[in-house]
Amino acid sequence: MSAPAPSPVPASASGRAWDVHRLQSAEGRTFRAWDVHRLPSAEGRTFLVTGGNAGIGCFVAEQLAATGADVVVAGRTAARAEAAMAAIRIRYPAARLRHCLLDLADLAALERSVRELGPVRLDAVVLNAGVALDDPPRRETADGHEAMFGTNHLGHFALTHRLAPLLAPAARVVTVGSFAARSERLDLDDLQSLRDYRPKRAYGRSKLAQTLFALELDRRLRAAGSGVRSVVAHPGGALDSLTPARPGVHGGAAGRRLLGAPAGLVLQGKEAGAWPMVRAVLDPAVRGGQVWGPRVFGLRGEPKLERPQAHYTDRATAARLWAASARLTGVHA
C-alpha cells in the first residue's frame, strides 16, 4: 500500500458546506447531516469492496479511498484491478489501495482468497460483485449453481462467513441490493431456476436473496450480542451513459453521455449510484438492519433511509433461505 493517505473528499465547486441541521444515532450521539461532497476522514480504517474493479464497485472504492482509508479491491483478475486502482490514483495520488483475487463463482477458492488478505482487520465489507443483468442464457458456476444466484448470493453468503474472523468489533457488512428486488418473490423450491429460467427474474431474485440474507444476518448478529452491523444499500437507476469517465475502466464517451441525457431526469450515473453504499459504510448514524437508497423515487439523488419492502422483512422466508444457502455452500454458521 502507498502512503500517505489522501485528504477527505473536497467540497463541491460551489463550496457547499455541511447542512446546518443534525442527526442522532441510535446511541444518542449527534452528528452533522450527511453531505456526499464532504465525506468524513476514515484514516486508519480498512474496507474491502468486492467487484471494486469495475462499475459501481470502482466508484465505491474511489470514494472510500478518498477518505484516507485502506481499500482492498477484490476481483477476479489482477489486470482489471490494477486498471481500476490506477484510475483512482489519477484523482487521488496517495490513495491506499491493494488487490485481492476473488471469484465468487468458485466456492472452493474463497478460503484461499481470505488467506491472501493476511492478518487484516476489516472495518467494513461491501458485497457488491456479481453477475449483472444483460439477458444471459442460463449458466452455472464452478459448483453447479445457477450463475446469478450462485455468484450474487451464494458466493457472498460463503464469503461473509469466511471473513467473519477478520471483522472489527463494530464493523459493517454492506450488501448492495437492487431496485429489481422490489417486484420479485423467491421460489424456495426452485432457487436455481431449473424449471423456469428468465434472466430478468433470475437477477431480481438473486438480489432479493442478498437483501433477505443481509437483514437476517443483522438479526442474528444482534441476537448474538455482536457489534457488527449488516446494512442494505442500493444504487437506484445507475446507467453507463450517465457515468463520468475513468481512464482504463469506463470510457464515458461524449456521444453516449448525450444519448443518456434525457434519462438523467429520473436516473443517474454510477458515481452517484455509489453514494448509498459509501454512506452505509461511513455514516456514524447508520444502524444495522436498515435499507438505504437514492432520495428521488429510489432511483436518483443523494442517499436516504428507506422503509424496507414488506417481503424484505419476511423472517420465515429468510430463515428458509439461510438454511438452503448453508446447505448449498457447505457453510454452517
DSSP codes joined into one string, 241-310? GGSPPBTTTB---HHHHHHHTGGGGT-EEHHHHTHHHHHHHH-TT--TT-EEEEEETTTEEEEEEEPPPG
Query: Distance between CA atoms of 7 and 19, rounded to whole angstroms?
Result: 20
User: Which are the contacts of 42, defined by CB distance < 8 A and separation ≥ 6?
Assistant: 64, 67, 68, 69, 123, 282
Residue 251's pLDDT is: 64
Is position 203 annotated as part of the catalytic site? yes
Residue 223's pLDDT is: 98
Cell digits of residue 195: 424449471
Residue 136's pLDDT is: 78
Amino acid at 147: A
Instruction: Estimate the share of the chain in helix, then strand, then coil, as percent rounded to the nearest 5.
Output: 40, 20, 40
Query: Buried b vs exposed e over 269-280: b needs ≥16 C-beta within 10 Å?
Result: bbbbbbbbbbbb
Amino acid at 253: A
- DSSP letter for each residue of 232-244: EE---SEEGGGSP
The position carrying cell 471473513 is 163
Residue 100's pLDDT is: 96
Closest CA to 329 of 133, 108, 4, 179: 108
- Per-residue pLDDT tens for 146-157? 999 999 999 999
- Per-residue pLDDT tens for 58-117? 999 999 999 999 999 999 999 999 999 999 999 999 999 999 999 999 999 999 999 999
- DSSP letter for each residue of 35-81: -TTSPPP-TT-EEEEETTTSHHHHHHHHHHHTTT-EEEEEES-HHHH
Query: Buried b vs exposed e over 148-165: b needs ≥16 C-beta within 10 Å?
Result: bbbbbbbbbbbbbbbbbe
C-alpha distances (whole Å) from 278 to each of 47, 118, 128, 258, 301 are 11, 24, 12, 27, 14
Which residue numbers in the chain have pLDDT < 70? 1-32, 241, 250-265, 333
